[in-house]
């Protein structure tokens, strides 16, 4: 038999800005009382924290002509290469060979890009998916089965490729894709 203590009835709801009021008759034994004290101390720590939302000035590097690169990909694909989402606000110009690892001539080369929705862009950038030279989707073993299903991806999805895409995909498979 388990020693777990149900605490549903022991911890009444209270607003975070007010101290908890715990009716004595709700606490039935010493173990519940200790657990309740622990929960209250955590809640107090949260309400007493001195975190503040602040801003600071920073200097950033901005990608020049990235919008032109995106426009070229929108004209080429018109939708996410994997799931067919067409809402332009949800589409990302994703580099096959990452911008930071590309030569200047590769950074805006339309052949170095796919149009992807945010989920598929994140999978691709993280190396959790890539594409074979025939366009077949490759899925990393690091991606959990439940996530594969939820993200609606499978190895039978084919994307259109040009010969020039394949050069960049070779780099992606060798340096970004998580094989094992």
Q: What are the pLDDT digits (tens) for 64-101?
A: 778 899 999 999 999 999 999 999 999 999 999 999 99
**pLDDT score of 33:** 74
pLDDT at 106 over 70: yes
**pLDDT score of 20:** 54
Which of 51, 45, 46, 26 has its CA nearest to residue 36?
26
Which of 73, 4, 64 has its CA nearest to residue 35?
4
Q: List Cβ neighbours of 90 (8 Å cut-off, separation of 6 or more).
A: 80, 117, 118
- What tokens does 128 get? 């959790």
Instruction: Pick left, alpha or beta for residue 136 (phi over 0 → left; psi -120 to 50 → alpha; otherwise beta).
Output: beta
Of 14-18, 27-31, 140-144, the poorest mean pLDDT is in 14-18
pLDDT at 148 over 90: yes
pLDDT at 174 over 90: yes
**pLDDT score of 9:** 47
Average pLDDT of the chain, as a whole number: 84
**pLDDT score of 1:** 46
For 45-64, how does the pLDDT look when each residue is reduced to its tens digit (9 = 90+)?
776 667 677 788 877 777 77
Question: Rounded CA gap, 42 and 111, in Å?
Answer: 53
For 6-19, how does the pLDDT look when each residue is reduced to its tens digit (9 = 90+)?
444 444 555 555 55
**pLDDT score of 8:** 46
């Amino acid at each position: 038999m388990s020693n777990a203590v149900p605490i549903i009835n022991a911890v009444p709801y209270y607003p975070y800005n007010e101290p908890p009021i715990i009716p004595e008759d709700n606490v039935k034994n010493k173990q519940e009382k200790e657990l309740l004290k622990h929960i209250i101390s955590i809640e107090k720590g949260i309400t007493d924290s001195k975190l503040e939302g602040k801003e600071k000035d920073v200097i950033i590097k901005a990608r020049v002509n990235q919008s032109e690169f995106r426009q070229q990909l929108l004209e080429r694909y018109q939708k996410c290469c994997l799931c067919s989402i067409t809402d332009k606000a949800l589409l990302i110009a994703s580099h096959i060979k990452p911008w930071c690892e590309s030569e200047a001539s590769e950074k805006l080369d339309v052949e170095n890009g796919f149009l992807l929705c945010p989920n598929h862009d994140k999978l691709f950038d993280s190396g959790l998916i890539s594409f074979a030279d025939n366009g077949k989707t490759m899925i990393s073993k690091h991606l959990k089965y439940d996530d594969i299903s939820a993200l609606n991806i499978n190895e039978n999805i084919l994307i259109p490729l040009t010969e020039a895409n394949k050069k960049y995909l070779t780099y992606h498979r060798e340096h970004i894709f998580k094989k094992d």
